[in-house]
């Protein structure tokens, strides 16, 4: 945020209010002063009187500010009436004071008029503050009436209209929605405007408002988002380039895998060793097909645009498939990888439990992709000898998939940044760990698509717990089995998105 400078008052901003006070009250001097933070108050408007009278009025104004109440004096040396000027919160921001001839008495009509003028000065100050805010903001704002006529616009709106080659008075259609509502908000629209070599990305949005008299108006807001738009273009080009470079070798890998699986399968019926090899080859082929689908998503942007394919899915079986695919990598890294409650007995006999299936209506491949990213992260950041536990439970009308590790953990600041695209922790960069910083943002996207959320709880040196919470299958019975109380959070950094 840039430095804010206070503009020195010119002394005539509210002179019209002072002149009106002189005429209405027959005063010799009327003056509007602000509430000084230090030193003498500044004059915002003055009419009539001598400099000596002005100095005396300024001194009386300080008494009004200190007392926060009107001050009326009537004596032979001179008469004074001062009224506080308040803001919307009732705070005193200035004083409207009048000085009369010696012996001048101020009656109820005089003080009522002074109070009205003080309120007018207050409204004028708020209007000038609003004008200053509109002039300082980076957002272009223009207001149109229900006939499409321009009512108000700040300088930023005029600048952006000129950059776009638009007539600001004709930005809103001549025949807008006949019944615009205050809660109506138009969809954002992004346009590239300006001459070649100096093009700007301008984001526009509209909203309906109701004027003081109940008449409908439309506000058009415009923002220059060129840096953000260019960053998104770079990101999209990067994703397209990387995915294109991956697609060609993947196609070749899948072709050879298909031949290999076919050859092994021919002899698997009579040869136990060949049968085991066929099972391994099938897993490799399935992983390669999954990778091919992910690359296709990157290449055409479908991961962001396509609708979910919601189906009844056994989430325990989904977790088992994910964990089975990571067993070799975990073993090679010297890590213990477990899944509960639905565990494959041949792979994890020590942790096998019989449990009723937990079924949810989800997009299975997308949820599987999210869990894969969470497990991969835990394996990557857990030193040899550690463990990664994948758990599934129900909590009321939700299913909770949890991945907990005994890894290096994160600081509170790192947890706050973990869901930003391309962000990687200092430990990841220093340790040379592979990754592009896209895994957790993708998990968050998948959770949001399912109307769920993902939470990270982590302590430096104490590991990380990632929790993915999704709505349950609507017709699934609500049971308390498998539920567990919330873990203590007083020593760990937590973020939920």
CATH code assigned at 485: 3.30.565.10
Q: Return the H-helix or E-strand segment holding 220.
A: strand 216-224
For 482, the 3-state DSSP assignment is: coil
Q: Are residues 281 and 356 in the same domain?
A: no
Are 44 and 14 spatial neighbours (Cβ–Cβ below 8 Å)?
yes
Q: Are residues 293 and 239 in the same domain?
A: yes
Q: Are residues 312 and 437 in the same domain?
A: yes
396: left (phi over 0), alpha (psi -120 to 50) or beta: left
Q: Are residues 300 and 448 in the same domain?
A: no
What's the token pair of residue 35? 């509430």
* Alpha-carbon torsion, ordered 321, 322, 328, 329, to 10 deg: 170
What integer best gives the mean pLDDT of the chain? 76
Give the integer Cα–Cα distance in Å for 380 and 428.
9
Q: Are residues 274 and 316 in the same domain?
A: no
pLDDT of 353 above 50: no
Per-residue pLDDT tens digits for 217-268: 888 888 888 888 787 777 666 666 666 566 656 766 777 677 777 777 766 6
pLDDT of 345 above 50: no
| 264 contact partners, CB below 8 Å, separation of at least 6 | 274, 277, 278, 281
pLDDT of 466 above 90: yes
DSSP letter at 451 equals T
Q: Are residues 219 and 298 in the same domain?
A: no
- The CATH number given to whatever domain includes residue 291 is 1.10.287
Q: Are residues 119 and 146 in the same domain?
A: no
Q: Of 132-146, 378-392, 394-408, which gets the smallest average pLDDT?
A: 132-146
- Tell me how crowded residue 70 is: count the other CB atoms within 10 A of its CB: 17
Q: What is the pLDDT of residue 264?
A: 73
Confidence of residue 465 (pLDDT cuts 50, 70, 90): very high
Structural domain total, the chain: 4
Decide which of 76, 108, 135 is a domain's last residue.
135
Complete DSSP assignment for 313-357: EEHHHHHHHHHHHHHHHHHHTT-EEEEESB--TTT-GGG-B----
Per-residue pLDDT tens digits for 96-108: 999 988 878 899 9
User: Cα angle vertex 384, ends 383, 387, to 5°?
Assistant: 80
What's the token pair of residue 222? 């415009």
* Residue 341: cis peptide before it, omega within 30 degrees of 0: yes
Give the integer Cα–Cα distance in Å for 428 and 406.
16
What's the token pair of residue 354? 């019989």
| 107 contact partners, CB below 8 Å, separation of at least 6 | none
Range of the domain at 24: 15-135
Confidence of residue 384 (pLDDT cuts 50, 70, 90): very high
Give the distance, in angstroms, between the CA of residue 96 and the centroid of all CA atoms in the same chain.
43
Q: What are phi and psi of 461, to 5 degrees?
A: 80, -5
Is residue 453 in some structural domain? yes
Q: Are residues 462 and 397 in the same domain?
A: yes
Instruction: Tell the residue number behind the tokens 């109070």, with chain if given.
Output: 115
Is residue 104 in some structural domain? yes
Q: Are residues 489 and 422 in the same domain?
A: yes
Are 40 and 58 spatial neighbours (Cβ–Cβ below 8 Å)?
yes
- The CATH number given to whatever domain includes residue 26 is 3.30.450.40
What's the token pair of residue 171? 């930005």
Is residue 25 in some structural domain? yes
Q: Are residues 487 and 365 in the same domain?
A: yes
Q: Are residues 196 and 282 in the same domain?
A: no
Q: How many CA atoms lie within 13 A of 92 on its CB side?
A: 22
Confidence of residue 352 (pLDDT cuts 50, 70, 90): very low
pTM exceeds 0.75 for this model: no
Higher-pLDDT residue of 236 and 384 is 384
Q: Are residues 84 and 195 in the same domain?
A: no
Higher-pLDDT residue of 361 and 213 is 361
Give the integer Cα–Cα distance in Å for 277 and 283.
10
């Amino acid at each position: 945020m840039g430095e804010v400078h206070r503009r020195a008052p010119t002394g005539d901003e509210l002179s019209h209010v002072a002149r009106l006070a002189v005429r209405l009250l027959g005063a010799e001097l009327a003056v509007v002063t602000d509430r000084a933070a230090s030193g003498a108050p500044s004059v915002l408007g003055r009419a009539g009187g001598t400099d000596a009278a002005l100095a005396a009025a300024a001194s009386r104004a300080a008494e009004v500010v200190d007392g926060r109440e009107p001050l009326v004096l009537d004596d032979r040396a001179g008469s004074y009436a001062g009224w506080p000027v308040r803001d919307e919160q009732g705070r005193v921001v200035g004083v409207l004071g009048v000085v009369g001839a010696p012996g001048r008495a101020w009656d109820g009509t005089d003080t009522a008029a002074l109070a009205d003028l003080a309120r007018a000065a207050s409204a004028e100050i708020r209007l000038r503050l609003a004008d200053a805010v509109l002039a300082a903001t980076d957002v272009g704002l223009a207001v149109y009436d229900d006939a499409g006529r321009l009512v108000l616009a700040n300088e930023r709106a005029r600048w952006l209209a000129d950059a776009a080659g638009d007539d600001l008075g004709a930005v809103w259609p001549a025949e807008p929605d006949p019944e615009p509502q205050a809660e109506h908000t138009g969809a954002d629209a992004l346009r590239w405007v300006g001459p070649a070599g100096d093009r700007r990305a301008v984001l526009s949005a509209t909203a309906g408002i109701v004027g003081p008299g109940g008449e409908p108006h439309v506000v058009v807001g415009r923002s220059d988002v060129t840096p953000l738009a260019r960053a998104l273009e770079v990101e999209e080009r990067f994703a397209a380039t990387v995915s294109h470079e991956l697609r060609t070798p993947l196609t070749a890998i899948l072709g050879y895998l298909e031949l290999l699986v076919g050859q092994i399968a021919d002899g698997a019926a009579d040869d136990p060793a060949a049968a085991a090899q066929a099972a391994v080859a099938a897993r490799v082929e399935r992983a390669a097909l999954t990778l091919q689908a992910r690359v296709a998503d990157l290449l055409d942007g479908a991961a962001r645009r396509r609708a979910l394919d919601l189906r009844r899915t056994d989430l325990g079986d989904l977790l088992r498939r994910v964990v089975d695919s990571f067993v070799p990598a975990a073993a090679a890294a010297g890590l213990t990888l477990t899944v509960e409650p639905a565990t494959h007995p041949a792979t994890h006999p020590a942790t096998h439990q019989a449990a009723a299936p937990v079924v949810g209506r989800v997009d299975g491949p997308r949820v599987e992709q999210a869990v894969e990213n969470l497990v991969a992260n835990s394996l990557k950041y857990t030193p040899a000898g550690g463990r990664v536990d994948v758990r599934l439970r129900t909590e009321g009308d939700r299913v909770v998939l949890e991945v907990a590790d005994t890894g290096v953990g994160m600081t509170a600041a790192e947890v706050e940044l973990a869901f930003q695209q391309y962000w990687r922790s200092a430990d990841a960069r220093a340790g040379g760990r592979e990754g592009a910083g896209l895994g957790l943002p993708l998990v968050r996207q998948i959770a949001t698509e399912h109307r769920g959320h993902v939470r990270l709880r982590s302590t430096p040196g104490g590991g990380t717990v990632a929790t993915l919470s999704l709505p349950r299958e609507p017709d699934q019975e609500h049971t308390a089995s498998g539920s567990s109380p919330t873990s203590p959070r007083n020593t760990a950094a937590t973020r939920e998105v």
